[in-house]
Chain A
Amino acid sequence: MPDVPGTGQLVLLYAAAGIFTLALLFSLLRFFNAEKTSLRTTAKVCIYLGILMGIAVITWRALNRHSWLPLDDNFDALIWLGLLLALFLTYMQRAHPLGGLDLFLLPIVVLVLVLAGIFGRTKPRAYLETTWSLTHLIAAFGGVVAFAVAAAGGVMYLVKSQQLRRKKMLSGQGLGSLERIEHLTFVSVSLGFALLTVGLVTGLVRAIDTHGHNSLGPDWYRNPKVLLAFIAWIVYALVLHSPINPSFRGRRAAILSVVGFVLMIGTVVAVQYMPSH
Chain B
Amino acid sequence: MPKLSLLGLNHTTAPLEVREKLAFNAQQQSAALAQFRQKFTSSEMILISTCNRVEMYAATDAQGEPGIRQMIEFLAEFHDVPSSTFADHIYQKADREVVEHLFSVASSLDSMVLGETQILGQVRQAYESARAAQLAGPVLHPLFQRAISVGKQVMHQTPLAEGRVSVASVAVEYARNIFEHFGDKTVLAIGAGKMSELVLQGYVSLGAGKLLVCNRTADKAQELAAQFKGQSVAFEKLAEHLVAADIVVSSTGAAHPIITRTMFDGLLRQRRYRPIFLIDIAVPRDIEPAVGEIENVYLYNLDDLQEVVSRTQAQRKDAVAAARAIINAQLEDYLASQRQRELGPAIQQLYTRYHQIAQEELARTLNKLPNVSEAERAHLEDLARRIVNKLLHDPIQVLRRTDEMHLPASQYLHALEKLFQLDALSSDQNDSAPPTLPPDSEDGQAP
Contact = CB atoms under 8 A, between A and B. Distances in A.
Interface string B288-318: 0000100110101000100110010000000
Contacts of A176: 180
Interface residues of B, number: 20
A241 B439 CA distance: 92
Given A169-B308, A171-B311, A246-B272, A177 B177 contact: yes
B420 interface: no
B11 to A, nearest CB: 14
B172 to A, nearest CB: 12
Contacts of B178: 164, 177-179
A249 B273 contact: yes
Contact of B177 (A174, A246, A250): A174
A180 B311 contact: no
Interface in A253-267: none
A164 B298 CA distance: 7
8 contacts: A160-B177, A165-B292, A167-B307, A176-B180, A177-B176, A177-B178, A177-B180, A250-B275
A246 B273 contact: yes
A178 B177 contact: yes
A229 to B, nearest CB: 29
B181 interface: yes
Contacts of B295: 250-251
Interface residues of A, number: 20
A2 B295 CA distance: 52
Contacts of A174: 177
Nearest to A175: B177
Interface string B268-296: 00001111000000000000000010011
Contacts of A160: 177
B91 interface: no
B40 interface: no
A250 B273 contact: yes
Contacts of A167: 300, 304, 307
Contacts of B274: 246
What 3 A-B pairs have minimum CB-CB distances, sorted nearest first? Answer: A246-B272, A180-B180, A179-B180
Contacts of B179: 177-179
Contacts of A164: 177-178, 298
Contacts of A168: 307
Contacts of A178: 177-179, 275
A261 to B, nearest CB: 22
Interface string B387-427: 00000000000000000000000000000000000000000
Contacts of A249: 273, 296
B180 A183 contact: yes
A247 interface: yes
Contact of A169 (B181, B273, B275, B307): B307
A167 B305 CA distance: 8
Given A178-B179, A179-B179, 7 more contacts: A164-B298, A165-B298, A177-B180, A178-B177, A178-B275, A179-B275, A246-B273
